[in-house]
Structure 1
């Protein structure tokens, strides 16, 4: 797995996945301030444009360090960021990374998350040469479980009190998809 020099743009039938910039802060604030979107995100809902700018800085820093990559999701021809998807905790020596996604509530149920997720997973296996992609999901987050299961992820087990976020300990299901089990 090699570090990516230039931020890649991914294109699907309906979507453009691109780097998030400071100009996108208002769009991020719109959906990351929504309690329903943030319910399983591990952070409190955003309250200010500075929260969104901090998130964008974090996206930039994980890319520059080679520990992750986060694409902004936009509908073709619109440019407005409506969610994000990508990898974090990239362990290049182990050819593994964790995947995550969130999407503006106004686009839930349109299979946009599925389309973006598919493109990112494909990039991970084909361009980043990952062997294993993981997804950590809170047990009550049924939509995310269904999303990863549709892509062929296997639930490996429950990580009890794995994270402490928003003042509480969270159990997380560990899902994985291996390169040899992936079919695009």
Structure 2
């Protein structure tokens, strides 16, 4: 059976129940710098204050329902030529190609909407093999290992650096 198409859209208040499925799941947030949401109220405030107003925080949707989130954080000043991608998906949707499709959509849309953007990068812990596969299948190139790069969750961590350059986008005819 063929999987329904993946779409990206702005968050809506009505996404709260779907959002709670992954936002409270420790396994989904295992490699995230942000911890899980501890209450419905916290999640609701996040959707209202950040999800609905942020131009590059999008709901990953299957058949119109939010099954995950994807975001870009654009660099500032001299770093404005690049952005960092992040994403998360409800566990029941893992292994179905949804994250890869969402990353491809985000990359295509970002380079189209921001013509001065030249690079999108993803930072992935070595233990997060699934996320490495997502980026590789979406066309990202592994650049190398950044040793002791971030300290969070009471530990200094290594990260693989992945990038997708604007010149690698397929040419539109």
Using the size of structure 1 for normalisation, the TM-score is: 0.80
Shift of 1:25: 2.3
Q: Counterpart of 2:158?
A: 171
Residue 140 in structure 1 maps to residue 127 in structure 2: yes
Name the CA distance, whole Å, in 2 between partners of 1:15 and 1:154: 23
Which of 94, 102, 106 does residue 108 from structure 1 map onto?
Answer: 94
Shift of 1:62: 4.3
Q: Which moved more, 1:46-55 or 1:30-39?
A: 46-55
Equivalent residue for 1:88, pick from 73, 89, 94: 73
In structure 2, distance between residues paired with 1:126 and 1:92: 20
Q: Aligned to 1:42, what secondary structure does the other structure show?
A: coil
1:50 matched to 2:41: yes
- 1:18–1:72 CA contact under 8 A, matched in 2: yes
The superposition leaves residues 102-125 of structure 1 with CA deviations (integer Å, 9 ceiling, x where unpaired) of 111111111111111111111112
Partner of 2:51: 59
Q: How far apart are residue 17 of structure 1 and its match?
A: 1.2
Shift of 1:70: 1.0
Match of 1:8 in 2: none
Q: Which runs of 5+ in 2 are unaligned?
A: none
Alpha-carbon separation, structure 1, partners of 2:138 and 2:105: 11
Rounded Cα–Cα distance in structure 1 between residues aligned with 2:9 and 2:53? 16
Quote the Cα distance in structure 1 between the aligned partners of 2:148 and 2:135. 21
Which of 5, 10, 28 is the equivalent residue of 1:19? 10
Change (3 A) 1:50 1:161: farther
Note if contact 1:43-1:165 (Cα within 8 Å) is conserved in structure 2. no
Secondary structure of 1:16 counterpart: strand
Q: Would you say the 8 A contact 2:101–2:138 is kept in 1? A: no
